[in-house]
């Protein structure tokens, strides 16, 4: 949707090398230090991401350095990678528009536009991986092909340009410590932590590649891009997955959560509004009642739904500099297979 879930949850570059993965017997010097037989630095993680994307285009999942036992999901569904759709449909995948790497935890998050079938069939791929001993132990994939997948704005075409500020932050910035970034992760879906977030005036707010505007369901609102926010009324999740990726170099934090809500008609479109956004849901109910009396446009029936969220934040100079909300919708009362 254009703005409502954004408000809800808020109210809530790196070039890829085409070289092969280092062998287990080599010691390789990486950008962040010396890579040993078992550790995987920024260059190693970048190469693994590259291998994943190349394998999708080639339809060759067997080229992946998988651990003997791994966990994988595609749009919330647990499955063996050999059974996943992306290795059958992707025809083009370049370098990630955003790549955040956590060398301490051995994890990474990446986002890019991909092509399935003909050149006009673009979608947004968001993914998270975890690597142990240079092998993939976790692979979490979300492919958003339309706004119906997530109830948000969607723009594969603008995704790369909108992520450029993320991957090229000011060289003279003051980087946040890992401790601060972990506190930010803990506070993302928990209003009780006491961690106060100052939002930069220029903070960029994205939904699935789109710099969000909210003209309203009658398209009589503002077309100016929305800015970030971190209000006390943001949605909470006591089982939020903290510190999924903490990139200390770029100041990027990725946190996972499950947010119950409802899909409402939004003009002739639809929008996901979290249940904790009580006032926003009430306003949409009132709008719906008026439109039903008018009877001028077809309207989707409001239905309960669940949003699985990967919230991506960038923080430096003591302020929130950028925010991206990536969501995939499922049925009501659902949880995440990643929460044990």
Is the per-residue pLDDT at 39 higher than 50?
Answer: yes
Residues 177 and 326 in one domain: yes
User: Among the three residues 113, 145, 177, which one is the final residue of a domain in this structure?
Assistant: 145
Residues 130-175: pLDDT tens digits?
999 999 999 999 999 998 887 778 899 999 999 999 999 999 999 9
Residues 101-138: pLDDT tens digits?
999 999 999 999 999 987 778 999 999 999 999 999 99
In order of 12, 15, 332, the CA distances from 274 in angstroms are 9, 37, 12
| Helix ranges restricted to H, 64-177 | 86-89, 156-167
What domain range is 118 assigned to? 28-145
Is the per-residue pLDDT at 220 higher than 90?
Answer: no
Residues 197-206: pLDDT tens digits?
999 999 999 9
Residue 213: its pLDDT value, please? 84
Residue 15: its pLDDT value, please? 30
For residues 214-230, average pLDDT: 86
Is the per-residue pLDDT at 10 higher than 60?
Answer: no
Count of the separate structural domains present in the chain = 2
**Mean pLDDT for the chain?**
88
Residues 185 and 141 in one domain: no
pLDDT band for position 13 (cuts 50, 70, 90): very low
Is the per-residue pLDDT at 326 higher than 50?
Answer: yes
CB 203 within 8 A of CB 147: no
- Answer whether residue 150 is part of any domain: no
Residues 56 and 138 in one domain: yes
Q: How far apart are CA 271 and CA 147, in angstroms?
A: 9
Residues 140 and 236 in one domain: no
Q: How far apart are CA 44 and CA 103, in angstroms?
A: 10
- Answer whether residue 339 is part of any domain: no
Residues 117 and 189 in one domain: no
Find the CATH number of the domain harbouring 35.
3.10.450.50
Phi, then psi, of 260 in degrees rounded to 5: -75, 145
Six-digit token string for 100: 């955040």
pLDDT band for position 309 (cuts 50, 70, 90): very high
- Answer whether residue 154 is part of any domain: no
Q: Which of 20-24, 57-61, 79-83 is predicted with the least confidence, judged by mean pLDDT?
A: 20-24
Residues 6+ apart with CB under 8 A from 281: 262, 264, 273, 275
Could you please report the per-residue DSSP string of 23-91? Answer: PTT--EEETTEEE-SS---HHHHHHHHHHHHHHHHHT-GGGS-EEEEEEEEETTEE--GGG-SHHHHEE
Residues 101 and 35 in one domain: yes
pLDDT band for position 35 (cuts 50, 70, 90): low
Is the per-residue pLDDT at 231 higher than 90?
Answer: no
Residues 179 and 306 in one domain: yes
For residues 60-72, average pLDDT: 97
Beta strand residue intervals within 105-225, DSSP E: 107-116, 122-132, 135-144, 199-207, 210-211
Q: How far apart are CA 99 and CA 108, in angstroms?
A: 7
Residues 273-294: pLDDT tens digits?
999 989 999 999 999 999 999 9
Residues 315-324: pLDDT tens digits?
999 999 999 9
Residues 88 and 228 in one domain: no
Q: Which residue has the higher pLDDT, 143 or 8?
A: 143
Is the per-residue pLDDT at 36 higher than 70?
Answer: no
Q: How far apart are CA 314 and CA 317, in angstroms?
A: 10
pLDDT band for position 37 (cuts 50, 70, 90): low
- Answer whether residue 214 is part of any domain: yes
Is the per-residue pLDDT at 22 higher than 70?
Answer: no
Phi, then psi, of 287 in degrees rounded to 5: -60, -40
pLDDT band for position 18 (cuts 50, 70, 90): very low
The structure's pTM equals 0.88
Residues 205 and 308 in one domain: yes
């Amino acid at each position: 949707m254009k703005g409502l879930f954004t408000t809800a949850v808020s109210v809530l570059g790196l070039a890829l090398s085409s070289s092969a993965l280092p062998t287990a017997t080599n010691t390789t010097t990486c950008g962040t230090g010396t890579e040993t037989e078992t550790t995987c630095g920024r260059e190693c993680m970048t190469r693994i991401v590259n291998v994943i994307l190349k394998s999708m285009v080639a339809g060759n999942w067997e080229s992946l350095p998988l651990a003997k036992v791994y966990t994988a999901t595609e749009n919330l569904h647990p499955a063996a990678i050999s059974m996943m759709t992306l290795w059958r449909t992707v025809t083009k995948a370049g370098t990630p528009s955003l790549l955040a790497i956590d060398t301490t935890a051995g994890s990474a998050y990446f986002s890019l536009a991909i092509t399935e079938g003909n050149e006009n069939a673009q979608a947004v791929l968001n993914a998270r991986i975890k690597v142990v001993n240079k092998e993939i132990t976790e692979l979490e994939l979300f492919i958003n092909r339309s706004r119906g997948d997530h109830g948000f704005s969607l723009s594969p075409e603008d995704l790369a340009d909108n992520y450029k500020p993320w991957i090229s932050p000011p060289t003279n910035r003051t980087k946040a410590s890992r401790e601060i970034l972990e506190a930010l992760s803990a506070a993302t879906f928990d209003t009780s932590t006491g961690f106060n977030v100052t939002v930069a005036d220029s903070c960029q707010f994205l939904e699935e590649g789109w710099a969000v505007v909210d003209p309203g369901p009658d398209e009589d609102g503002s077309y100016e891009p929305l800015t970030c926010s971190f209000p006390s009324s943001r949605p909470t999740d006591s089982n939020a997955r903290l510190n999924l990726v903490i990139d200390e170099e770029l100041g990027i934090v990725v946190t996972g959560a499950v947010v119950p809500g409802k899909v409402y008609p939004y003009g002739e479109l639809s929008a996901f509004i979290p249940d904790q956004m009580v006032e926003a849901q009430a306003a949409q109910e009132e709008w719906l009642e008026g439109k039903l009396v008018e009877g001028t446009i077809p309207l989707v029936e409001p239905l309960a739904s669940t949003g699985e969220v990967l919230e991506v934040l960038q923080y430096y100079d003591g302020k929130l500099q950028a925010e991206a909300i990536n969501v995939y919708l499922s049925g009501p009362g659902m949880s995440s297979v990643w929460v044990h």
